[in-house]
Structure 1
């Protein structure tokens, strides 16, 4: 899945994301590029005579964070590349991901930066909550159980491809689910035959992924659920003890502001599982 992993140091201590980047790199033999971005935008309202000293301090802090995280990766026996930039964090992160032929971006779920990266990045993004409940332990080489929600979209199919490769490396199991969205006004008073058509559509979306998983020799569970999509995905992952949720994402924009659309944003806000999001 990954020959090159980008690990941004984006404001928090980044320790949770670093642990997962190391775990994936260990399983795949990937190199980890650690990126720190000094953000000058915080200095826009600072008096001119104070700007230089504050910029120097910000640069020093970001370089210290870079060295700390890179040292952690290096100590784990993983090949590491250090990268330091100045600019708007989400823009620098996505630029480096594109220019450096990154295969996977691993970022801590810190709020706006992670969401903007997800909305813009063409690279698969593994978003790690600070208190992530995942697959990290001494015995594991990857997630033992992955939940793959699908709506039949191309993005969901791409996320499934990434998830199946991870599951194959880890000899894990997958749950492929589809959710009939009860918030859809068209289904408010829908007759049973229409709900059944929706259920059949869910199974049709699930089947290609389930077949691909079985072809890899992976244990597969499938289900079509009715409810609010993000709520059902989060609760299902918790109920089965999933190590990872892998799902398609779509980028939106309001003016120049990149946003993450729909279900993925709601899942990220509510789950304590790592989420692999693919546009």
Structure 2
């Protein structure tokens, strides 16, 4: 399934994305590609040339150290790895590496968030751009540490890598409950196929859910006939996907909800103790100028559990 797995890391080497990449490699007999990109984007104007060179050398040293540590742990777990350090604009380098090495899935961390999930809680520009532009699935997961000082980061890397070993020792892998949102679009169907493949690999249960967006349709004032048609469309969408799951002998449940999509999806995920959500990057109503569906990006920003996006 996922034979070539790319994990772009920064100097933190946080356990969340590493554990997920290692777990996929173990379950799929895949190779982990560990990539660190030395950011050559323009530094702050306040820095002179010597300071910029020193900053870049420091980044390179820490990046190489982090990739070596990750590769060493992978070797201890018996996983196949490749390691590389590049210079460039991070998201462009990640996408180029993925294309050059026939990567099947990219695993990346997101940033910490506030309780409201507002713009202040960013995914991170590199992660968001990779999710938006990648031609392969991207698995985003919350990092376990956000440390600023060098000494804190060194301790966090050691602690996190120890946590990875524990996380990847689970015999059946990390996923037992997989949520698959749908809006009846072709891309939702493609995302469902990825979800089913993972459910088969992990022996997981699939949960297919359709949310009628009350903001779009103003259902409070809509005639019952309109509400009925929307529910009928949702039922058709979830039943179609559920039938494919049953054809593959995957345990599956379905549900239709009304409300704000990301709010309802987050509540639903909590209710079924979801380990993973698999969804498309473009919604049914997204125009050509909307490369990333608003519901998808809000889910990535706010979800405490990993989100696998499919383009």
Q: What TM-score results when the alignment is normalised by the length of structure 2?
A: 0.82
Q: C-alpha offsets along residues 212-231 of structure 1, whole Å, 9 cap, x if unaligned?
A: 11011111100110010000
Q: What is the 5 A alignment of 1:238-253? A: 238-250=270-282
Segment drifting more, 54-63 vs 258-267: 258-267
Structure 2 distance, partners of 1:83, 1:131, is 23
Q: Alpha-carbon deviations, 1:232-262, whole Å to 9, x = none?
A: 1111001110111111113999x9xx97431
Q: Does 1:80 align with 2:112?
A: no
Matches within 5 A, 1:140-155: 140-155=172-187
* 8 Å CA contact 2:213, 2:261 repeated in 1: yes
Query: Does the CA contact (< 8 Å) of 1:27 and 1:142 recur in 2?
Result: no
The 1:131–1:189 alpha-carbon spacing in structure 2 relative to 1, beyond 3 Å, is: farther
The total of aligned residue pairs comes to 274
* SS of corresponding position for 1:13: coil
Alpha-carbon spacing, 1:13–1:250, altered in 2? closer, same or farther (3 Å): same
Report the Cα distance in structure 2 between the residues aligned to 1:219 and 1:242, rounded to whole angstroms: 14
CA RMSD, 1 decimal: 2.3
Q: Secondary structure at the match of 1:187?
A: coil
Which one of 121, 131, 139 corresponds to residue 126 of structure 1? Answer: 139
Q: Secondary structure at the match of 1:241?
A: coil
Residue pair 2:9, 2:35 contacting (<8 A) in 1 also: yes
* 2-structure distance, mates of 1:85, 1:5: 17
Deviates more, 1:84-93 or 1:52-61: 52-61
Tell me how far apart the structure 2 counterparts of residues 131 and 226 of structure 1 sit (CA, whole Å): 32
Find the counterpart in structure 1 of residue 246 from structure 2.
214
Partner residue in 1 for 2:266: 234
Answer yes or no: is the 8 Å Cα contact 1:180–1:198 preserved in 2: yes
Cα distance in structure 2, aligned partners of 1:145 and 1:77: 27
Following the alignment from structure 2 to structure 1, what is the Cα–Cα distance between the partners of residues 241 and 3?
A: 24
- Contact kept, 8 Å, 2:11 with 2:59, in 1: the verdict is no
Equivalence for 2:18: 18
Q: Corresponding residue for 2:309? A: 277
Post-superposition CA distance 1:79-126 (Å, at most 9, x none): 000011111111111111112111011111132221111011111011
Partners in 1 of 2:92 and 2:186 — Cα distance? 25
- The structure 2 residue matched to 1:115, chosen from 122, 128, 137, is 128
Q: Is the 8 A contact 2:22 2:168 kept in 1?
A: no
Return the offset for 1:203. 1.4
Instruction: Give TM-score scaled by structure 1 length.
Output: 0.91
Q: How many Å separate the matches in 2 of 1:259 and 1:44?
A: 29
Query: Equivalents in 1 of 2:227, 2:195: separation in Å?
Result: 29
Partners of 1:7 and 1:32 within 8 A in 2: yes
SS in 2 for 1:223: strand
| Change in CA separation of 1:140 and 1:117 when aligned onto 2, cut-off 3 Å | same
> Is 1:94 the equivalent of 2:107?
no
Assess if the C-alpha contact under 8 Å between 1:22 and 1:73 holds in 2: yes
Residue 212 to residue 94, structure 1, CA distance change in 2 (3 Å):
same
- Which of 133, 153, 158 aligns to 2:190? It is 158
Describe the shift of the 1:137–1:144 C-alpha distance in structure 2 as closer, same or farther (beyond 3 A): farther
The structure richer in strand per residue is 1
Unaligned runs of at least 5 residues, structure 1: none
Structure 2 gap segments, 5+ residues each: 112-122, 146-166
